[in-house]
Amino acid sequence: MTSRATSARPRPRRAVRHLLLGLTVALVAALTPAGVPTPAQAAPTLLSQGRPATASSTENAGTPAAAAFDGNTGTRWASAFSDPQWLQVDLGARATLSQVTLQWEGAYARAFQLQTSDDGATWTTIYSTTTGAGGTQTLAVTGAGRYVRMYGTARGTGYGYSLWEFQVYGETGGGTPTCGSTNAAQGRPVTASSTENAGTPASAAVDGNAGTRWASAASDPQWLRVDLGSTQSICRVVLTWEAAYARAFQLQTSADGNTWTTIYSTTTGAGGTQTLAVTGSGRYLRMYGTARGTTYGYSLWELAVNTTGGTSEPPVDPTDPRNPNLGPNTFVFDPSTPTATIQSRLNTLFTQQETNQFGPQRYAVLFKPGTYTADVNLGFFTQVAGLGMSPDDVNLNGHVRVEAAWFGGNATQNFWRAAENLSVTLPAGVSVERWAVSQAAPYRRMHLRGAQNQIQLWNGGDGWSSGGLMADTRVDGLVVSGSQQQWYSRNSEFGNGWTGSVWNMVFQGVTGAPPPSFPNPSHTVIPQTPQVREKPFLYVDGTGEYRVFVPALRNNSTGTSWYGKTPAGSSISLSQFFIVQPGTSAATINAAWPRASTCSSPRACTTSPSRSRSTGPTR
């Protein structure tokens, strides 16, 4: 007669796992000699069990975040099938951590970080791997915080991330650390001596993403430098090396980006993750490599800097309109930034983007109100913009230009870049600015100063160009179209007029436009713009708050909306926007669009969605 137990269906894998665990415990107990005392040890305290938990996503209602902290190895948290994903626990109070145990289900993390935070917003990595193998991982860690999370960047299977249990051990009452936990380098401007290719830029080493990296040319020496924004007391540097590591390198600090002091040096580096206690201060920190550990260049997944004391900028808070996090590929300069730092950043971006026509990189360079000296040469997918209420609030002594040297002078492929809300004063003895573009490259809300100057819409003597837009712009001097095949100018002012024509030049609401004469020359002139609302723009007001100005609708207009007049429109604080960061889930973005009822009666009901803004340059 067959028993009920043996005729039942096979056990699910969770039950089998529990049975094997029980057999293992029994076997260990049986093999332990009786009467042999074990050394007395202070066991770490399990802090995470039953604590509040949140996650980036859940696979379904049966796999909630709380299941990883309930002490039951038969329940689990599982995420959506995408990267990155995270699971976070609130310990209730600050704690000093000593151990984390992760019990993975079959869907494990191949690459992940363990991170701590005091506020649930700013995170410090205390463990990182890109070679996770799943199973049960018991990890000795050193760190402190109220919040602990597993941040997964690469799954080991086609499923999501899945944890039976996530256990955090340590002692509560960690106190204020001598060395802070905030990564002062994350998202800051960074430059390098070289890059291996367009896919390994310097910015990838400070973007907080363990799946992106900076890599240098395969030669010695090479360096990576980060601008912390102000003088900082540096107490710890964490280098997460890719396989191409530094055998010999120095960590150096500088107040001005020119004179350097060495605060750490080694000739026996072994790669991996190096957590280095250091003592030094400066606005700039750089890794200066003198001997590679492989035949490749130097390659860092992440460079993290921890600080204590000193002067610092306010912590980045994406909801703070005075100090928003605009993403790692947006670089914001103010008049106190050294000219050399600004130009180095601009040169690095142009070198990377000059021919990067089909690459995924996107960048924005923003200038707060003030005066600067800079040569802005724009490559693909790069936006430069001023953060003033008027273009004249930001003046660049130099250039904001587009050239076509990379394509033999032919500008017919110079797409996807933009200049907005700036005034430009050309260097002494120079009278020509060049904007050699062809489509998707607006010159908008700009002011080219000097009646003796001209802007050329081609490469100035060689090659062709084919299409562009100039809007809400004042050129004090002359616009020269050259080989430009077609162009649309709207609501602009040309102090010394326009010269040139090929196929089709359209002028609408432009003062200083040539007389209508299509088709020879091909000038189509519309005296006024019947209705227009200029593009909204980001600016910084007198209190330092970031705001978005929405220009008013204009009727039958000519000329710019700003030159010699007060712009009409409305101003909205950036706190009313949701800034999308890399890795933000679709569910989070969708949740940022609540519909707030403004009904006075059912028939008069309207809805007003909140505004959303993604980080990075616009096109």
pLDDT higher than threshold 80 for residue 451: yes
Cα–Cα distance for residue pair 394/400, rounded to 1 Å: 12
pLDDT at 569: 95
pLDDT higher than threshold 80 for residue 564: yes
DSSP 37: P
Are 152 and 142 within 8 A, CB to CB?
Answer: no
pLDDT at 2: 36
As beta bridge partners, residue 340 has none
Are 471 and 420 within 8 A, CB to CB?
Answer: no
Give tens-digit pLDDT for 250-278: 999 988 888 888 999 999 999 999 999 88
Cα–Cα distance for residue pair 333/381, rounded to 1 Å: 19
pLDDT higher than threshold 70 for residue 467: yes
Percentage above 70 pLDDT, the chain: 85
DSSP 378: -
Q: Three-state SS string across 495-517, please?
A: CCCEECCCCEEEEECCECCCCCC
DSSP 15: H
pLDDT at 118: 77
pLDDT at 600: 39
Q: Three-state SS string across 46-90, please?
A: ECCCCCCEEECCCCCCCCCHHHHHCCCCCCCEECCCCCCEEEEEE
Give tens-digit pLDDT for 486-527: 999 999 999 999 999 999 999 999 999 999 999 999 999 999
Residue with tokens 């000739």: 267
pLDDT higher than threshold 80 for residue 531: yes
Residue 288 backbone phi and psi in degrees, to 5: -115, 105
As beta bridge partners, residue 386 has 367
pLDDT higher than threshold 60 for residue 350: yes
Cα–Cα distance for residue pair 567/560, rounded to 1 Å: 9
Find the mean pLDDT for residues 41-48: 72
- For the record, the structure tokens of 277 come out as 């206690």
Stated pTM of the model? 0.52
pLDDT higher than threshold 90 for residue 298: yes
pLDDT band at residue 173 under the 50/70/90 scheme: low
Q: Which of 28-32, 346-350, 562-566 has the lowest mean pLDDT?
A: 28-32
> If we measure between CA atoms, which residue out of 518, 478, 526 comes closest to residue 501?
518
Are 101 and 136 within 8 A, CB to CB?
Answer: yes
| 135 against 175, higher pLDDT | 135
Where on the phi/psi map is residue 29: left (φ > 0), alpha (ψ -120 to 50), or beta?
alpha
Give tens-digit pLDDT for 227-238: 988 778 888 999
Who's near 230: CB < 8 A, 6+ residues apart?
A: 283, 311, 312, 313
pLDDT higher than threshold 50 for residue 537: yes
Cβ-count burial of 597 within 10 angstroms (0-12 exposed, 13-18 middle, 19+ buried)? exposed
pLDDT at 596: 41
Give me the chain's average pLDDT, please. 84
Amino acid code (one letter) for 127: Y
pLDDT at 208: 85
Q: Which of 34-38, 98-102, 143-147, 286-290 has the lowest mean pLDDT?
A: 34-38
